[in-house]
C-alpha cells in the first residue's frame, strides 16, 4: 500500500522547515524531536537520501 501527502512549495528546504516550525508554534505546538532521516541513513547504512526530517510536534493541552 502506498500513501502520502505531498505539497510543492517555492521555498528552499531550510525556509520550508522554518515556516513549518513557526506555523506549529503559532498553533500552540512545540517541536520536541527532529529526526534527520538523510543523516541517519547515511550514518547507519551508507545510503544517500534526499533531505528529509521528521518533526515530533506536541501540544499537551490538545
**Per residue of the chain (62 residues), what is the pLDDT tens digit?**
888 888 899 999 999 999 999 999 999 999 999 999 999 999 999 999 999 999 999 998 88
Q: Burial letters for 16-29: b for 16+ Cβ neighbours within 10 Å, e otherwise?
A: ebeebbeebeeeeb
The predicted structure's pLDDT at residue 4: 87
pTM of the predicted protein model:
0.81
Contact 9, 16 (CB under 8 A): yes
The predicted structure's pLDDT at residue 59: 95
The predicted structure's pLDDT at residue 24: 97
The predicted structure's pLDDT at residue 33: 97
The predicted structure's pLDDT at residue 55: 97
Amino acid at each position: 500500500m502506498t500513501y502520502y501527502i505531498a505539497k510543492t512549495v517555492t521555498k528552499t528546504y531550510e525556509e520550508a522547515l522554518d515556516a513549518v516550525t513557526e506555523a506549529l508554534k503559532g498553533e500552540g505546538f512545540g517541536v520536541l524531536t527532529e529526526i534527520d532521516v538523510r543523516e541517519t541513513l547515511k550514518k547507519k547504512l551508507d545510503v544517500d537520501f534526499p533531505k528529509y526530517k521528521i518533526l515530533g510536534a506536541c501540544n499537551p493541552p490538545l
